[in-house]
Amino acid sequence: MSIKNLRASKMRSFLTMLGIIIGISSVIIVLSVGAGAESLIVNQIRSVGSNLVGVLPGNSDGDGPPAAVFGVVITTLTNDDKKALETQIPEVVAISSYVTTMEPVTYQNQKVTANIQGVSEGYLEISDSDVASGRFILDEDETLLSNVVVLGSEIKQELFNDQDAIGQTIKIKKRNYRVVGVLEAKGVVAFQNTDKMIFVPVTTVQKKIVGINHVGFIRMEVDDEDNMDYVVVQAQEILRDRHNIDNPSKDDFEVANTAAALGSLTAVTSSLKYFLVAIAAISLVVGGIGIMNIMLAAVTERIQEVGLKKALGAKKKDIIWQFLVESVSITLIAAVIGILIGVAFSFLTATIVRYLGYDWDFVITPTSLLLSCGVSVAIGLIFGIYPASKASKFDPIVALRYE
């Protein structure tokens, strides 16, 4: 009887469901996309390596990462700091300074704007990259400020097509640079497409391209994961000594291993995800209020029907159950539609992001589906109880005479 009443006014029933549909689909999408974004961050950090220690300029206040993470330029780290860490910590098997800039690059009539990455010899091992042809940057290139470059696979193709690039000369900021190597295709690592980068000795980028004395950050590879904490402490002590810092609270750098960075980012993404879920859940409350309004209107329209049923022997609980079943049916059907929309949108998002080359997991947990259905039923009961109770209290004689 409840389903028959709902089908009799399809448009009103659909509009009643709309708030719940939007709310449920929003919750599913937020949970799924949030889990996917978290997996993207975790996968990207893990792709860098689990035995890495990073040094960033600037210090955090303990509640978040250093300002350098957000693009603020801080000049407290130098390439000499890298050399000191390299020589004084035996557990460090590879180390590289990093300076990044974007510059136009030309070869004959070809011109592209490329990500120029100033790095050291240790970059190759730290990034687990391989040279497809030629060689990589050497320590002597860094010492001599050599005008040599190593191309990512896509940049090589853009500039030289199928031509051999080794020994060719490209121009950056009106200076000639000789191509000494081309890297194997690697794709997106730590949110950067290394195939579209040009690698230059870090000192050459500092002095000849950008004109600075500081570096963006330093990254070290440790011989064993068990030595990670020791290396962090050693790096802190060396840098404090070099920077004349006596009080750790006044550090002008931040040293962290991959696991610590992963934990911090996961905590941030989880908090953000559940905050967004709470906002999306507000639409469920709005949808519940809409259901109450519609059910109250339905009660007013069906006063004579209620009076007739009670006159024929229907009890108070029978009237309550009929209206509650209608309310719950609306929310449950809306929940199923909302889940289908949410799953479809989440799958589409994951497909698009994966197509763009990022390691994004499509995550839909059974718990979120069951929770959505449970919440919908609860909303139907909570917001349907008052209209149902009101209908059950009608006096049958008054109700039958109602016009």
pTM of the model as a whole: 0.60
Residue with tokens 């070099």: 242
pLDDT tens-digit profile, the chain (403 residues): 766 766 666 777 777 777 778 878 877 887 787 777 777 766 666 655 668 888 988 876 555 555 555 556 788 899 999 999 999 999 999 999 999 999 999 998 888 889 999 999 999 988 888 999 999 999 999 999 999 999 999 999 999 988 899 999 999 988 999 999 999 988 766 557 888 999 999 999 999 999 999 999 999 999 887 888 899 999 999 999 999 998 888 888 888 877 666 665 666 666 666 776 677 667 667 767 777 777 666 666 666 666 777 677 777 777 777 777 777 788 888 888 888 998 898 889 888 888 876 777 787 777 777 777 777 777 777 776 766 676 666 666 655 565 5
**Which tokens in the block code for residue 11?**
């448009």
Q: 264-267: which pairs have CB atoms within 8 A and are 24 or more residues apart? A: 264/64, 264/65, 265/41, 265/42, 265/45, 266/38, 266/41, 266/42
Taking only Cα atoms into account, the Rg of the chain, rounded to an integer number of angstroms, comes to 32
Residue with tokens 């089908």: 7
Residues in CB range of 308: below 8 A, 6 or more apart: 396, 399, 400
Q: What pLDDT, on the 0 to 100 scale, is given for residue 365?
A: 72
Q: What pLDDT, on the 0 to 100 scale, is given for residue 401?
A: 61
- Give which of 29, 38, 37 is closest to 369, Cα–Cα: 29
Contact by Cβ (8 Å): 292, 383 = yes
- Give which of 261, 360, 357 is closest to 50, Cα–Cα: 261
CA 224, 97, 63: angle at the middle one, nearest 5? 75
Q: What pLDDT, on the 0 to 100 scale, is given for residue 266?
A: 64
- Give which of 205, 255, 260, 244 is closest to 95, Cα–Cα: 255
CA 132 to the chain's CA centroid: 32
- 94 DSSP β-pair partners: 221
Contact by Cβ (8 Å): 291, 331 = yes
CA distance to 39, 148, 260, 301, per residue, from 231 (Å): 28, 32, 14, 76
- Give which of 317, 314, 250, 292 is closest to 382, Cα–Cα: 292
SS (H, E, C) the chain: CHHHHHHHCHHHHHHHHHHHHHHHHHHHHHHHHHHHHHHHHHHHHHHHCCCEEEEEECCCCCCCCCHHHHCCCCCCCEHHHHHHHHHHCCCEEEEEEEEEEEEEEEECCEEEEEEEEEECCCHHHHCCCCEEEECCCCHHHHHHCCCEEEECHHHHHHHHCCCCCCCCEEEECCEEEEEEEEECCCCEECCEEHHHEEEEEHHHHHHHHHCCCECCEEEEEECCHHHHHHHHHHHHHHHHHHCCCCCHHHCCEEEEEHHHHHHHHHHHHHHHHHHHHHHHHHHHHHHHHHHHHHHHHHHHHCHHHHHHHHHCCCCHHHHHHHHHHHHHHHHHHHHHHHHHHHHHHHHHHHHHHHHCCCCCCCCCCHHHHHHHHHHHHHHHHHHHHHHHHHHHCCCHHHHHCCC
Contact by Cβ (8 Å): 119, 98 = yes
The strand pair at 92-107 and 217-222 is best described as antiparallel
**Which tokens in the block code for residue 351?**
């497909």
